[in-house]
Chain A
Amino acid sequence: MERPFRTLILLAGVLLFYSAGTNSDYYVVGDKAEDFSLRNVDGRMVSLADYPDARGFIVVFTCNHCPYAQLYEQRIIDLHRRFNIRGFPVIAINPNDPSIVPDDSFDEMVVRAREKRYPFVYLYDSTQTVYPKFGANRTPHVFILDQRLVVRYIGAIDDNPETPGAVRNRYVENAVNALLRGERPDPDFTRAIGCTIKRKR
């Protein structure tokens, strides 16, 4: 009597917890990322293989329109200025479909990158095939890769989107510094509020 009852409870539990996806669908920390080729705001196609001297990459899925992406824009610029010279450039990718958010079209990306003088590449995932492989689900969403393109950190830039001065944990900065020291980032996974990625319908 007890066993079928427990099985039922377990089944109900499994059914209740709607899962966002299974781990095998996209990268988790420790997985090797596939290189990609995406158009940059300057018109040329960019791959990670174009950076033979890089010691790793700060891949940031971000966009023009999202208020959280805007709050972090200056911090993303600062990350690139700080870490590009140490071998960790920022690779920004806009994953949104412009038919849903016109502000995130390629043309608008070009305008934004020029206005804000982005020092990093700002790539367009026009076919929306790169962000699902990473498992990006919001903007901004960061993936730090090492030299061998192994994913070493997934998550937020820091722990205070609204007030940069009140930040206590600079997750990305700490993670890159750890990698530069040859250590494992801790934490290597964080959550954050952000805008959903706008999928083509």
Chain B
Amino acid sequence: MRNLYLISTLFFLATCMLRGQAFTVYDSFSELEDRIREVDHNTTLVINFWATWCGPCVEELPCFEELHRNYASADFQVLLVSLDFKSRLEQKFIPFLEKHQLKPEVVLLADQDADNWIPKIHPDWQGALPATVVLRGGQRALFPEKFEHYEDLEAFVLNFVKSVRKATNMGCKGTR
């Protein structure tokens, strides 16, 4: 019972509810890994790495909102992973979320040991923000800069999904 209380308190602390805008703090990259692992083989997961202090990131956020609006479903998820500073949560991050009321899922990744986790996201990413990774069926594609237009983002994601589907279909034929 005491454990349950502790767990629920921790959960409450980790998941801050703000007038319809929830976000989760991941102190360790392993939590993000678990979140990625939850996603099944036929689901597309679009992860955008951003921060409120990063100008180009904030500029491209509406593209991800639009992608979410147009495609979000059980097998298409958009995840906004912020690299904001935990020490500036109250002053910067929460007010930003309150103002912008982002619709996609928001996570704050506070794991500072970036050299350890950046290559696990994609071997070609060196850590400059923004960056976007699309995952599906064990495959992933990286776009290590800002999307200038919504159409660029949409095309990048759809082309990736198409190529993964094609490869999967080939696999079925090959094993027959």
Contacts and interface: CB of A to CB of B under 8 A. Distances in A.
Interface of B: prevailing SS: mixed
B70 interface: no
Nearest to B87: A162
Contact of A8 (B119, B129, B167): B167
Describe A's contact surface by its main secondary structure.
loop
B95 to A, nearest CB: 16
A137 B128 contact: yes
Contacts of B167: 8-9, 12
Residue among A18, A101, A159, A197 facing the most chain B CB atoms (10 A cut-off): A18
Q: Which of B54, B112, B174 has the most CB of A within 10 A?
A: B112
Nearest to B109: A193
Nearest to A101: B55
Contacts of B126: 20, 137-138, 191-192
Contacts of A13: 139
B16 interface: no
Interface residues of B, number: 40
Interface in A1-50: 1-2, 5, 8-9, 12-13, 15-20
Given A193-B127, A196-B56, A196-B146, A16 B139 contact: yes
B54 A195 contact: yes
A191 B170 CA distance: 36
A192 B160 contact: no
Contact of B83 (A18, A155, A193): A193
A16 B113 contact: no
In this complex, which of B125, B126, B142, B170 has the most chain A Cβ atoms within 10 angstroms of its Cβ?
A: B126
B174 A17 contact: no
A17 B119 contact: no
A181 B145 CA distance: 38
Contact of B163 (A16, A101, A195): A16
Interface string B105-119: 000000011111011
Interface string A140-171: 00000000000000011001111100101001
Interface of B: 51, 53-56, 83, 85-87, 112-116, 118-119, 122-130, 139-146, 160, 163-164, 166-167, 170, 174
8 contacts: A5-B170, A17-B123, A18-B141, A159-B114, A159-B115, A160-B112, A191-B114, A196-B56
